[in-house]
Amino acid sequence: DIQMTQSPSTLSASVGDRVTITCRASQSISSWLAWYQQKPGKAPKLLIYKASSLESGVPSRFSGSGSGTEFTLTISSLQPDDFATYYCQQYNSYPITFGQGTRLEIK
Amino acid sequence: EVQLVESGGGLVQPGGSLRLSCAASGFTFSDHYMDWVRQAPGKGLEWVGRTRNKANSYTTEYAASVKGRFTISRDDSKNSLYLQMNSLKTEDTAVYYCARDPDSSGYKGLWGQGTLVTVSS
């Protein structure tokens, strides 16, 4: 199975900050990576697919990059609505696997 | 409105069975691969399994943790997805989400609101 490791596990930041979350795969997954945002008590929401493609309706302050084994999700200027937990997910091979999550909290 | 709505969750004893349903609306359900994903209380997301569409013979994939105990099926005439869960264990306690794969590649662009399954004596 492909292991997905996110860092950091928790990130404290302020409104307006630029933040980056990293996701590493235990083997190459090409660009078959998605990012999701989840708020407490809610279903995950797709932000990015194929490593860098922005899902329709998602603000352009979100961006994704990377290929192979290392990927990043960047939020260019944090907004109050962005404080949530973020997950990466590989879909290069079965079983589909998720990172453990990064909790983005208000500093 | 494009949506997925899960139902069927509840309290079940260890060793018991439960069947979850997911009703789809607002899109052509039969075209899409569909997944189940779960989330134990306070934990991260875990993929459970998927069913492909008719064009791909409705074949299925499962996580090792549920293979042989859980069965995913679908009824395209009813726009519905199902998860039959047998031999339930306490570690199966989670919110179960159904999710749609937009292009059969593996990411999930549409999620239901989830249904809670609690396995406890």
Q: Tell me, what's the pLDDT at A44? A: 98
DSSP codes, chain A: ---EEEE-SEEEE-TT--EEEEEEESS--TT-EEEEEE-TTS--EEEEETTTEEPTTS-TTEEEEEETTEEEEEESS--GGG-SEEEEEE-SSSSPEE---EEEEE-
Q: Tell me, what's the pLDDT at B103? A: 87
How confident is the model over A22-46, as pLDDT tens digits?
A: 999 999 999 999 999 999 999 999 9
Residues 6+ apart with CB under 8 A from B28: none
Residue showing tokens 């996701």: A23
Contacts of B34 in chain A (CB under 8 A): none
Distance CA A89, CA A58 (A): 18
For residue A94, the chain B residue with the least C-alpha distance is: B61
Contacts of B105 in chain A (CB under 8 A): 32, 49-50, 91
Put simply, the answer to whether A95 touches B112 (Cβ < 8 Å) is no
Handedness of CA B106, B50, A89, B101 (dihedral sign): positive
Q: Tell me, what's the pLDDT at A13? A: 97
Residue pairs spanning A and B at CB distance below 8 A: 59
Query: Which whole number is the average pLDDT over A74-86?
Result: 97
Distance CA A96, CA A20 (A): 23
Contacts of A97 in chain B (CB under 8 A): 47
Tens digit of pLDDT at every position of chain B (121 positions): 999 999 999 999 999 999 999 999 999 999 999 999 999 999 999 999 999 999 999 999 999 999 999 999 999 999 999 999 999 999 999 999 999 998 888 899 999 999 999 999 9
B26 to chain A, closest Cα gap in Å? 17
Contacts of B62 in chain A (CB under 8 A): 95
Put simply, the answer to whether B114 touches A43 (Cβ < 8 Å) is yes
Return the higher-pLDDT residue of A49 and B106.
A49
